[in-house]
């Protein structure tokens, strides 16, 4: 196991610790203790953070085809990004459903924030002649791009 896989395990264990601390709040309640909404929110948020890190370790220690740590981390980052972009608004289900959707978004955002610098270090620099923002080589530019005429972009 490489240093990157060790780092992923460290982050997973830190997220598990945060979840166990949040769950201990419920376990340690006595008969007169009260449980607040922020306690449940902390549990839901910590659970979502654990789930993202667990997905990375599942890919690196999978039963069928394992991935190296860098590929696994970048793959799960893409999944987290897609979950934020493609999240559907909650229109029914009450406050619990709304709170769980918010914790899923928060967990994905926390995972992306925690791995941002690491992903930047793992991503290779663009090749010469490629515009970094678009990933298009000068030879593959649409007609009229040299003159500054915008090309029509068709998206399904």
User: Residue 151's pLDDT band (boundaries 50, 70, 90)?
Assistant: very low
120: its two tokens: 């930047």
Q: Determine the average pLDDT of the residues in 129-153.
A: 48
For the whole prediction, is pTM greater than 0.95?
no
Q: Determine the average pLDDT of the residues in 117-139.
A: 65
Cα of 22 vs its chain's centroid, Å: 21
Give tens-digit pLDDT for 4-60.
888 888 889 999 999 999 888 888 776 667 777 788 888 888 999 999 999 998 888
d(CA 142, CA 136): 9
d(CA 83, CA 88): 9
d(CA 143, CA 125): 26
Q: What pLDDT does residue 76 have?
A: 92
Contacts of 151 (CB under 8 A, 6+ apart): 142, 143, 144, 145
Q: Determine the average pLDDT of the residues in 132-143.
A: 47
Q: Determine the average pLDDT of the residues in 110-130.
A: 80
Give tens-digit pLDDT for 65-102.
788 888 888 999 999 999 899 888 777 777 778 888 88
The ranges assigned to domains in the chain are: 3-128
d(CA 87, CA 82): 8
> Which residues lie across from 137 on neighbouring strands?
130
d(CA 127, CA 135): 9
Is residue 83 exposed (0-12), middle (13-18) or buried (19+ Cβ within 10 Å)? middle
Task: Inform me whether the pLDDT recorded for 155 exceeds 80.
Answer: no
Q: What pLDDT does residue 1 have?
A: 60
142: its two tokens: 């649409």
Q: Which residue has the higher pLDDT, 136 or 87?
A: 87
d(CA 16, CA 23): 10
Q: What residue spans of the chain are helical by DSSP H? A: 3-27, 37-60, 69-85, 94-114, 116-122
């Amino acid at each position: 196991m490489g240093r990157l896989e060790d780092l992923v395990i460290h982050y997973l264990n830190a997220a598990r610790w945060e979840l166990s601390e949040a769950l201990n709040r419920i376990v340690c309640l006595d008969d007169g203790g009260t449980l607040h909404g922020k306690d449940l929110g902390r549990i839901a948020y910590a659970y979502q953070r654990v789930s993202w890190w667990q997905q990375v370790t599942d890919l690196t220690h999978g039963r069928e085809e394992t991935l190296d740590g860098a590929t696994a981390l970048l793959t799960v980052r893409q999944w987290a990004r897609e979950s934020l972009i493609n999240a559907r608004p909650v229109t029914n289900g009450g406050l619990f459903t709304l709170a769980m959707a918010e914790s899923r978004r928060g967990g994905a955002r926390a995972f992306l924030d925690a791995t941002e610098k690491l992903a930047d270090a793992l991503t290779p620099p663009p090749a010469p002649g490629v515009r970094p923002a678009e990933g298009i080589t000068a030879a593959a530019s649409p007609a009229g791009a040299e003159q500054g005429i915008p090309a029509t972009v068709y998206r399904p």
